[in-house]
Amino acid sequence: MILSIISFLVFAWFIAGYFGVSKNLRAASVFITLTCILGTLFLIPETNSFSIIMGGWAPWATISFTFCLIFLFRFFINGLRNKSNDLYFSDAKEAEEFSTQELERYSRHIILKELGGLGQRRIKDSSVLVIGAGGLGAPVIQYLAASGVGTIGIIDHDKVSLSNLQRQVIYSTKQVGEQKVFSAADAIYKLNSNVNIRPYNRRLNSEIAEEIFSEYDVIVDGTDNFETRYISNSAAVKTKKPLVSGALSQWEGQVSVFAPHEAGPCYECVFPTPPKDNLVVTCSEGGVFSPLPGVIGSVMAVETLKLLSHSGDVLLGQMFIYDGLKGESRKIKINPSKKCPICST
């Protein structure tokens, strides 16, 4: 009889839930039912036929006690969850801007005291343009999408090649021959469908750069050619957008944040002229260590997210250099140039 009644209560619980009855109301109904059974058994003699059929009051006391413990535990957990919202969000309205799914997805961000709910909301409300969806751009795109950046623009004219797959892990063998921006957009959607994706299937040039840059909060340059880097730098300076720039070759990579409007240098302050062609070693000529773009791209994503969330100290006026072959990293100071034709005027 005990098993039959418990089975009925469980069945009724799920049926009521299917029809939209709240958990609190279902819990109250079960509590009342158990209280009535236990009270009746406690008041009547143990020799009563009803008491004998029901197995006496002792097992029902155990069942009721167990149910109360479960209910109290749930009440305690909900209280902690509400308290955490008070800790990590400045007000209730701010917490309401995230769905339950988003709160769980970004929970590891939200509990970081340096970032919190406010920082995550800033990330959600922000927009980033990633120039280049290759070795550096790919990990940047993946981590920005995973972190919940509201809008991500991707500009690239290239197609996925088999040689890309050695280091650009956002793509798969089936996508060889496809345009990178569309393949990357598909990967982002599968990772986080809350992100708004804007693919630009074209090469960046000086005619469109300023117009596109003006629509974004942060610009990320993951390109592998100096012409595009100088175009990006000039447009970023004119539109007063912070530029997160990365570069790599073989075993070594570097990252910096350029923002003259924040008293930092621009790219051309540090690299006033491009090197001669015979001094530049491309990935196809000199090779590149497979995990290196992931390392440097991840640092670029870190700097971008810190800019968006107003967390920590960014690499403004500094250049981070990583040597994968020796396992060493260092930072050097870089200063604005008074002779820079781009940002000194």
> Could you give the residue ranges of the DSSP H alpha helices within 148-225?
180-191, 209-213
Q: Kindly state the percentage of the chain with pLDDT values over 90.
A: 57
Is residue 344 in a domain?
A: no
Vertex 106 angle, CA 102 and 112, to 5°: 145
Q: What is the pLDDT of residue 318?
A: 95
Is residue 345 in a domain?
A: no
Residues 137 and 178 in one domain: yes
Is residue 80 in a domain?
A: yes
Question: Which residue, of 97, 121, 145, is where some domain finishes?
Answer: 121
Per-residue pLDDT tens digits for 140-178 = 999 999 999 999 999 999 999 999 999 999 999 999 999
Hey, what amino acid is at 46?
E
Q: What is the pLDDT of residue 24?
A: 77
Is residue 113 in a domain?
A: yes
Residues 21 and 165 in one domain: no
For residue 35, give its domain range: 2-86
Q: Kindly state the percentage of the chain with pLDDT values over 70.
A: 90
Residues 41 and 175 in one domain: no
Provide the pairing of β-strand 328-333 with 318-323: antiparallel
Q: Is the pLDDT of residue 88 over 70?
A: no
Q: Is the pLDDT of residue 34 over 90?
A: no
Per-residue pLDDT tens digits for 205-258 = 999 999 999 999 999 999 988 999 999 999 999 999 999 999 998 999 999 999
Residues 216 and 137 in one domain: yes
Residues 93 and 157 in one domain: no
The pTM is what? 0.73
Residues 212 and 252 in one domain: yes
Q: Are 29 and 71 in contact (CB under 8 A)?
A: no
Q: What is the pLDDT of residue 92?
A: 47
Residues 216 and 285 in one domain: yes
Q: Closest Cα partner for 253 from 324, 166, 170? A: 324
Residues 21 and 134 in one domain: no
Q: Is the pLDDT of residue 32 over 50?
A: yes
Residues 93 and 78 in one domain: no
Domain count, the chain: 3
